């Protein structure tokens, strides 16, 4: 978590040098991840993360008429999951995402509704938080671990803002976090091969303030 805090401070300081107008706020929604295949001579399974809630904050600056920069942090409830032959095993988990986005929006302070698209990059910290045990269902395909792993990620998003008052706005978006699978947190058993790419779809709604 120390790495997360230091990185957030660095990005915030870099963005402040170019800010013209500031915006900040909070959002909440859901988190949905794809499952990857787990293949072995013993059979096949799927490995991944269960759906959960998501919460986030953003802090941004309007650079030009149609371009903004934004620092974001999201907390995602992401329990680990293994499934095969109608059997399912889970393990408590969570994910932290920190990233910087560039946003292209349709207008700035010219209309009540603005649509935007965003692309950015940063990192995700995957954490297993459950209690490890000597016996785990489906252990022939993988092991849940109480550890954490940092992965670089790319994120893309689309959404809109709606101005409620001169400085207050509603915001809604759908975002995709794209990263490699964290095999230190959900570790393949010997001879098992996992798919490599995770797509984390996160729809969120929130309130922001601009000045």
Burial class (CB in 10 A: 0-12, 13-18, 19+), 10: exposed
Q: What is the pLDDT of residues 116-135, one digit of tens each?
A: 999 999 999 999 999 888 88
Q: What is the pLDDT of residue 110?
A: 65
Q: What is the pLDDT of residues 66-77, one digit of tens each?
A: 899 999 999 999
pLDDT at 3 over 80: no
| DSSP conformation letters of 137-160 | TTTTTEEE-S-EEEEEEEEEEEEE
Instruction: Quote the percentage of the chain above a pLDDT of 90.
Output: 74
Give the chain's mean pLDDT: 89
Q: What is the pLDDT of residues 152-187, one digit of tens each?
A: 999 999 999 999 998 999 999 999 999 999 999 999
* CATH hierarchy code of domain 2-210: 2.40.160.20
Percent of the chain as helix, strand, coil, to the nearest 5: 5, 65, 30
| CB-CB contact of 37 with 46 (8 Å) | yes
Residue 18 confidence class, pLDDT cut points 50, 70, 90? very low
| CB-CB contact of 209 with 166 (8 Å) | no
Q: What is the pLDDT of residue 5?
A: 45
Domain definitions of the chain by residue range: 2-210
Q: What is the pLDDT of residue 8?
A: 45
pLDDT at 20 over 80: no
pLDDT at 86 over 90: no
């Amino acid at each position: 978590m120390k790495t997360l805090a230091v990185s957030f401070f660095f990005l915030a300081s870099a963005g402040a040098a170019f800010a013209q107008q500031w915006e900040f706020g909070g959002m909440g929604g859901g988190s949905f991840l794809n499952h990857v295949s787990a293949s072995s001579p013993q059979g096949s399974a799927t490995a991944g993360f269960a759906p959960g809630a998501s919460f986030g904050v953003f802090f941004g600056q309007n650079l030009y008429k149609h371009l903004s920069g934004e620092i974001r942090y999201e907390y995602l409830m992401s329990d680990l999951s293994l499934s095969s032959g109608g059997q399912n095993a889970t393990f408590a988990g969570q994910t932290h995402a920190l990233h910087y986005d560039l946003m292209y929006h349709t207008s700035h302070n010219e209309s009540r509704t603005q649509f935007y698209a965003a692309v950015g990059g940063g990192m995700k910290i995957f954490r297993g938080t459950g209690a490890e045990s000597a016996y785990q269902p489906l252990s022939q395909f993988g092991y849940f671990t109480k550890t954490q792993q940092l992965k670089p990620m790319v994120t893309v998003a689309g959404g809109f803002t709606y101005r409620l008052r001169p400085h207050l706005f509603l915001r809604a978006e759908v975002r995709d976090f794209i990263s490699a699978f964290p095999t230190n947190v959900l570790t393949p058993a010997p001879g098992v091969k996992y798919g490599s790419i995770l797509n984390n779809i996160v729809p969120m709604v929130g309130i922001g303030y601009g000045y």
